[in-house]
Structure 1
Amino acid sequence: MLEALAAADLALVLEVVTGGDYVPEPTRSPESHLAELERQLERGAAYQPLKVTVITGCDHWRWPLQEGFWSRALELAAASGLPVSFETHRSRSFYSPWMIHPYLEAFPSLRLTADISHWCVVAERLMTPELEPIASIAPRVDHIHARVGHPQGPSVGHPFAPEWAEALEAHRRCWQLFLAARAPGASPATVTPEFGPDGYLPQIPFTRAPVADLLAINAAMACWIRAGALDPAA
């Protein structure tokens, strides 16, 4: 894989998931998540990643558990020597925009991967830069997952279809804010077009045919961003 990346002149953004799957097994303890995190960060170093985005924690843990877990998780991230950021993902500790503030206050070193499509579903509304949680996380965002969600789902059928123009613009403005909030001298922010097949892309009833071509959607999102859609003056 490293040879293929080098031949294509590509860097790797590695994703680490704890808890057994993207939706964590509810019986997994914080200690289990931490052991997985430590093991995967150790293994991940061999892949020479540009960045590591981590999906960890659990939405149903009470604050004392969360506080102890995140103290240790951030220690493991720092000890790894890797550029680690933690994703705002459903079913995880940062599942809700309205619940993020205690973490920001308690853990000044916390860095984030922003996937606000998840927050659209949880809050049942589009995220915009005017919302206080979006403004609060902006200086912490190191990586962006560029999938467009909507109030009833984590992925629109096609981000450039006219019926989803409002959702696309709301996400664009948030992503633009995250890039603008980068501290002077910080490493460049990175963006991954992240429209996926695993339950995200809507399907036509009875046939289960996807409503759009997944590769075409991700390529179009990448081209749109590279063309300057997130530039300050855009």
Structure 2
Amino acid sequence: MKIQFYYPRWGSENVDWNNFCQKVQEAGYDGVEAPVPESKEEQKVILDALQNNGLKLIGQYYQSFEKDFETHKANYIKELNILASAKPVKINAQTGKDYFSFEQNAELFAVANGISQETGIPICHETHRNKALFAAHIGYDFLKKLPDLKITADFSHWCNVSESLLEDQEDALALACKKVGHLHSRVGHSQSAQVIDPRLPEFKNELEAHLKWWDTIVKDYQDNNKEVLTITTEFGPAPYMIHLPFTNMPIASQWDINIYMLHLLKERYCK
């Protein structure tokens, strides 16, 4: 079993793509997770920068903004096809809405599955606040009823939604850890989907809880001879990253934290 590590474009949007990719490659990453624009010219800039630096792409869909379901579904299909046109390794999708019905969100999952079958590109659905899989108990229900559903495991959101470290939701976590197609290694806590800094001793319990879940995912990949686990070290900028009052200065370095997570996980899983 091999692990590939990806750096998020989120937080570096103002950095030239060539410079960004060179920095990511030199840091030891295998690729970048990023949205893809509709313009072929803009796509080419991204894909050339990735190729020139030997990096892979995970496409990212986050534009689930439309309240009307039919409009939402139409734009979902459009955006997934744009992402698929760039031929990424896989697509991470923040699918659906927490206020859509089970049947509506299930319809979106089915749409994504059809696009995946047509293009050959796996699509994983993120356990993200405000989306279809916004909470552990909701995700559990979907995963029991849709056994082929693959998730992007970002359990930091589930911690935030439940105001806990999910101590009383073991069954949901156990099933979720067997359905992971992609992993976001961000550490959350009861009041936020991102701790200030995982290196701080006051967040030791949160880090250890997330590492325990990630250990379970890695073991499932090993036990079932799954070939490649992809991980994005997805600590983000503001508003996930706290900024100091009035100065607008981040309280920590997004880059440094993600590099810390990269080295921590490589040391833990890639010996």
Q: Distance in 1 between matches of 2:261 and 2:199?
A: 9
Match of 1:13 in 2: 58
Find out whether 1:195 has 2:240 as its counterpart.
Answer: no
**TM-score, normalised via structure 1 length:** 0.88
Which of 151, 154, 157 is residue 193 of structure 2 equivalent to? Answer: 154
Equivalent residue letter for 2:60: E
Q: Which residues of 2 match residues 72-221 of structure 1 at below 5 A?
A: 72-127=111-166, 131-182=170-221, 184-221=224-261
Instruction: After TM superposition, give the deviation of residue 129 of structure 1 in Å.
Output: 10
Query: Is the CA contact 2:137–2:169 (under 8 Å) kept in the aligned structure 1?
Result: no
Structure 1: gaps (5+ residues): none
Identity of aligned residues (%): 31
- State the shift of 1:86 in Å: 0.5
Partner of 1:181: helix, strand, or coil?
helix
Amino acid at match of 1:218: N
Contact in 2 for aligned 1:86/1:113 (Cα 8 Å): yes
Query: How high is the TM-score relative to the length of structure 2?
Result: 0.76
- RMSD between aligned alpha carbons? 2.1
Q: Which of 42, 49, 58 in structure 2 is aligned with 1:4?
A: 49
Q: Distance in 2 between matches of 1:185 and 1:198?
A: 38
Check 1:176–1:117 CA distance in 2 against 1; reply closer, same or farther (3 A cut).
same
TM-aligned CA distance change 1:70 to 1:13, over 3 Å: closer
Displacement of 1:164 in angstroms is: 0.9
Contact 2:136 2:169 in 1 (8 A): no
| Alignment partners' CA distance in 1, 2:167 and 2:117 | 31
Q: Name 2:22's counterpart in structure 1.
A: none
Distance, in Å, in 2 between the alignment partners of 1:224 and 1:34 is: 39
1:63 is matched with 102
5+ long unaligned stretches in structure 2: 1-45
User: In the comparison of the two structures, how many residue pairs are matched?
Assistant: 225
What CA distance in whole angstroms lies between the structure 2 residues aligned with 1:34 and 1:53?
16
Give the Cα separation in 2 of the matches to 1:127 and 1:145.
17
**Whole-angstrom CA distance in 1 between matches of 2:178 and 2:246:** 45
User: Does the CA contact (< 8 Å) of 2:58 and 2:92 recur in 1?
Assistant: yes
- Match of 1:100, SS? helix
Letter of the structure 1 residue corresponding to residue 116 of structure 2: A
Q: Which of 1 and 2 has higher RCO (CA within 8 Å, sep 6+)?
A: 2
